[in-house]
A and B are shown apart, each in its own frame.
Chain A
Amino acid sequence: MLRKGHISAGAVCFASGPMAAPASPTTVPGPGIGEVAREWTRIGCVGFGGPPAHIALLRELCVQRRGWLSAEHFEDGGAATNLLPGPASTQLAIYCAWRLHGGLGAVVGGLGFILPGLVLILALSALFLAGAPPRWVRGAGAGAGAAVAAVAVSAGWALAAPSWRKAGDHRARWWAYVVAGGVSAALVGPWLVLVLLACGAVELVWRRANGGRGGRALAAVSPWVVLPLAAVAGAGGLGALAWVAFKVGALSYGGGFVIIPLMQADAVDRYHWMSDSQFLGAVALGQVTPGPVVHTVAAVGYAAAGVGGGLLAALVAFAPSFSFVLLGAERFDRLRASARVRAFLDGAGPAAVGAILGSAVPLAMALTEG
């Protein structure tokens, strides 16, 4: 269930908003900013179950119940945010609010969607990651943590079938990307992002060499942002925390469990912010709280530097999602039409599936090392 869901076309409703398409047959008045705040916060409070639940709730609100967006526009938004790195359903929530109320709507709606789960996971982190939690709390954390590896396998398996069907005539390379992602997640978690990007780049080059479009590097994230963060990560402390959160929010494709091997090696083995069993508990908290599953990064931040660390990690992890929408939503149509982007994701996507399956290995090993 932790997948960047594809959104099926549904009831035909009609749109208004900053990017309203000319095909809209009628216009339904959009919501005021107060209504955006209320409704997106409501979804942030009841959005249990990860991206599929978030997408269903957004669709029910924006398309089916209120008619603020057409099914087509909603589907286009979902497809575009699936092409971006980072948490897709969070980006879709921000995008829908942006379509209805511009930049202010994006910020207000995005915060409404994110903050309830963030507050809850920080409160639960204080309980579960305390120095000497009550025995029943330890039991709850150990029980939920024991399920995480199995849940990762289930999530990866659920993603594998549609990805395989989409592979078409490049199934040999699909297997290669899946294996590369799986082995990387199992063995070299901190470098997983590079492997995902490399798989995307290889597919780009392959298409180019075989007469397709593509081949130029996909500079999704400016090196002027990446390099300073990577540099301060070496010093440890908050710089390292910011780098881990940035990798989760801006460099990871696939969302959900793909972020786990990214964080586990850094949080447990490299920086010793938490034990294996605490990390398993943090992953479980990210899954059982409403809103983005990427909230796990806030629990890691809490373990690293208390409430301030949790807030910093969340800020860094979600800032790219706001940036992508606020700075790039006008160009989402071009993004969707880009053969280069699609080729890149045909490589990075299967690698992300493999990474989710591979993440079960260090998670299962953590069960015995906790």
Chain B
Amino acid sequence: MLAAAAVALLALGRGVVMTLLGAGAVGVVVALGGGSLP
């Protein structure tokens, strides 16, 4: 799920830094929501 979110963020064309920060934010939300982490 995290990878899919990352690809979607990259597809939005926001650049590498914003993509990685956005993906990190998604990861925080997943972690705090009790989702599974690698």
Q: A150 contacts B10, CB within 8 Å?
A: yes
Bound state CA distance, A144 and B9, in angstroms? Answer: 11
Q: How many residues belonging to A are interface residues under a CB distance threshold of 8 Å?
A: 30
Q: Which residue of B lies closest to A285 (CB)?
A: B20
Residues of B within 8 A of A136 (CB): 28, 31-32
Could you tell me the distance in whole angstroms from the C-beta of B23 to the nearest C-beta in chain A? 4
Interchain CB contact under 8 A, B20 and A288: yes
Residue from the list B3, B5, B32 in contact with A367, Cβ < 8 A: B3
Residues B7-38 near A (CB distance < 8 A): 7, 9-10, 15-17, 19-21, 23-32, 37-38
A370 touches which one: B6, B19, B27, B38 (CB < 8 A)? B38
Interface centre among B10, B23, B26 (most CB of A within 10 A): B23
The verdict on A342 contacting chain B, using a C-beta distance below 8 Å, is no
Task: Please report the C-alpha to C-alpha distance between residue A140 and residue B20 in the assembled complex, in whole angstroms.
Answer: 9
Given contacts A139-B37, A277-B38, contact A147 B19 (CB under 8 A): yes
Asked whether A147 and B6 contact (CB < 8 A) given A1-B15, A139-B30, A140-B25, the answer is yes
Residues A146 and B23 in contact, CB atoms below 8 Å apart: yes
Q: Which of A272-316 contact B (CB under 8 A)?
A: 277, 284, 287-288
A to B contact number (C-beta, < 8 Å): 98
B37 CB to nearest chain A CB (Å):
5
Decide yes or no whether A50 CB sits under 8 A from chain B.
yes
Query: Which among A138, A146, A155 is the interface contact of B3 at CB below 8 angstroms?
Result: A146
Task: Tell me whether A120 is interfacial, beta carbon within 8 Å.
Answer: no
The 8 tightest CB contacts between A and B, nearest first, are: A143-B27, A139-B31, A147-B6, A370-B38, A146-B2, A147-B23, A144-B24, A139-B27
Other 15 A-B pairs with CB < 8 A, given A151-B20, A284-B24: A138-B31, A139-B28, A140-B25, A140-B31, A141-B24, A142-B38, A143-B5, A143-B6, A143-B25, A143-B30, A147-B23, A151-B10, A151-B19, A154-B16, A370-B38
